């Protein structure tokens, strides 16, 4: 069974405040093994990156200014994830941003039925424990040293390893 591990980086926390996606990364898993099939884009959000978000991911307005808009990659994104389960850590956040972008691009929203939220799995397995991606990497002995800033692809790589460990526990 093929699945997609997905992560986004954004201009800020809330879609309600007009925040947009600046990076989207997806790694395909086949029977829990990462394939060479990835989907990755830096995106021009059409608005300024908040200072808080810049501290998290380090993508400047200047860096993003010449990148494609989400609407230009939306169709390819939908083809990439079609008929696959999508694994996300804190799915509510990423799905709100993705569905906002899809809506703005004139596409249909993604339903939650194919989404697996590793935050929910971790919350159920380790009640009361820290369940951030970094905390789960530490718990499972996953090396996250190259994660200096949040980046979609590195976070997807880490999450794919965390996901396998969550299923094994």
For residue 156, the SS3 value is helix
Token pair belonging to 7: 């992560």
Q: What are the DSSP calls for 69-130, one per residue?
A: PHHHHHHHHHHHHTTSEEEETTHHHHHHHHHHHHHHTT-PPPPGGGEEEHHHHHHHHSTTS-
**Residue whose C-alpha is closest to residue 73's, from 109, 44, 35, 50:** 44
Euclidean distance between CA atoms 10 and 68, whole angstroms: 14
Residue 97 known to be catalytic: no
Euclidean distance between CA atoms 106 and 36, whole angstroms: 30
Active site residues: 150
């Amino acid at each position: 069974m093929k699945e997609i591990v997905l992560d986004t980086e954004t201009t800020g926390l809330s879609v309600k405040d007009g925040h947009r996606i600046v990076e989207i990364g997806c790694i395909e898993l086949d029977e829990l093994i990462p394939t060479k099939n990835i989907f990755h884009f830096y995106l021009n959000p059409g608005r300024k990156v908040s200072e808080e978000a810049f501290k998290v991911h380090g993508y400047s307005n200047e860096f993003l200014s010449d990148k494609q808009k989400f609407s230009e990659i939306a169709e390819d994104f939908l083809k990439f994830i079609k008929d696959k389960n999508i694994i996300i850590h804190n799915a509510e956040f990423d799905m709100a941003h993705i569905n906002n972008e899809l809506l703005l691009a004139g596409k249909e929203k993604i339903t939650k039925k194919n989404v697996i939220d590793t935050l929910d799995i971790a919350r159920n397995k380790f009640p009361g424990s820290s369940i951030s991606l970094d905390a789960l990497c530490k718990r499972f002995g996953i090396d996250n040293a190259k994660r200096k800033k949040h980046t979609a692809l590195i976070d997807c790589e880490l999450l794919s390893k965390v996901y396998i460990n969550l299923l094994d526990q």
